[in-house]
Amino acid sequence: MAISDILATIDNEIATLQQAHALLSGGTAPAPKKKAGRPKKVVAVPKAAVVPPAAKPAKKKRKLSPEGRKRIVEALKRRWAATKKAGVAVVPAAKTPAKKAKKRHISPETRKRIAEAAKQRWAAQKAAVAVATATTKPAKKKAAAAVVPATTKPAKKKAAAVVVPTPKKPAKKAAEAPAK
């Protein structure tokens, strides 16, 4: 056997002993040396798996004993009796739906009175507009131009745009063709 083979087997044994030591002490095993190729899938052992199953009992579904059920029913009955005795009315959960309110209608006489009142208002408004337009005189054009609304602001003077001429590139001179 060659020395390199002996060293390789010793290294493998050291790695397995370190893993066993880490598992027994509760820590994680150190990562082994990387080998060429795809790494093998490592299954990590959680700390909970190390604990024996007797330490964690399985939870059972809780059941209500018949005696406990009877005590709850008795307590409810006493509470209901006390509320009835106090005079608090117990409202039933499901009641019949309330009846719809009767739809109201306007009588023909009332409808006529409303229409007549509206016509009178419209006539009065129309007459007021006619009187207002007849009494006002048309304004002169000069006077109308002088009236300026208060919300208008004087126009700001725009600064004249300064155009800087760009220097023109000199035209390329046509190269003189060599005379033949």
Query: Does a structural domain hold residue 128?
Result: yes
- Amino acid letter, residue 17: L
> Residue 164: its pLDDT value, please?
64
> Whole-angstrom Cα distance, residue 40 to residue 49?
22
Is the pLDDT score of 166 beyond 60?
yes
Output 155-160 pairs: Cβ under 8 A, ≥24 positions apart.
Answer: none
Query: Does a structural domain hold residue 20?
Result: no
> Residue 176: its pLDDT value, please?
55
* Cα dihedral 40→45→46→49 (10° resolution): 150
> Residue 13: its pLDDT value, please?
94
> Residue 98: its pLDDT value, please?
73
Structural domains counted in the chain: 1
Query: Does a structural domain hold residue 113?
Result: yes
- As a whole number, the mean pLDDT across the chain is 76
Rounded to an integer, the average pLDDT of 68-75 is 96
Query: Does a structural domain hold residue 112?
Result: yes
In terms of residue numbers, what domain contains 121? 108-132
pLDDT band at 32 (very low <50, low <70, confident <90, very high): low
Token pair, residue 56, equals: 């964690």
> Residue 113: its pLDDT value, please?
96
User: What pLDDT digit, counting tens, does each position of 94-141 carry?
Assistant: 666 677 888 888 999 999 999 999 999 999 999 999 988 887 766 655
